Amino acid sequence: MTKKELVDQIAEKRGMSAQEVLLVVEDVMKFIKKSVASGNYVYLRGFGVFQAKLRRAKVGRNITKGEQMAVPAKRVPQFRPYPNFKKAVERNN
């Protein structure tokens, strides 16, 4: 599903204009990005948790040259789904 499809479905269900829904969806996405980037987490009850996770430094390999190289530690975004979300996905298999 694309963002446009999501916006259109919400707009149809709520009887709102697609433009209004698009603004809300984009604001939610901006808030989540800003919060996670600043080191906070966003907990959406019944859905999941968006947070930043520290990926440790490691030794990697340059496959074209066959050399080892250092891969520095970095923070990456992570989403952990709520247990009910996981169960809903499992039931649809």
- The string of pLDDT tens digits covering residues 57-89 is 999 998 899 899 999 999 999 999 999 999 999
Q: What are phi and psi of 83, to 5 degrees?
A: -55, -40
Q: pLDDT tens-digit profile of 4-59?
A: 999 999 999 999 999 999 999 999 999 999 999 999 999 999 999 999 999 999 99
Statement to judge: residues 61 and 83 lie in one domain: yes
For residues 51 and 85, state if they share a domain. Answer: yes
**Same domain, yes or no: 48 and 90:** yes
Q: Are 46 and 13 in a shared domain?
A: no
- Alpha-carbon distance of 79 to 39, in angstroms, equals 14
47-72 b/e (C-beta count within 10 Å ≥ 16 → b): ebebbbeeeeeeeeeeeeeeeeeeee
Beta-carbon contacts of 45 under 8 Å, excluding residues fewer than 6 positions away, are 82
Q: Are 88 and 65 in the same domain?
A: yes
* Domain span holding position 12: 1-38
Tally the domains of the chain. Answer: 2
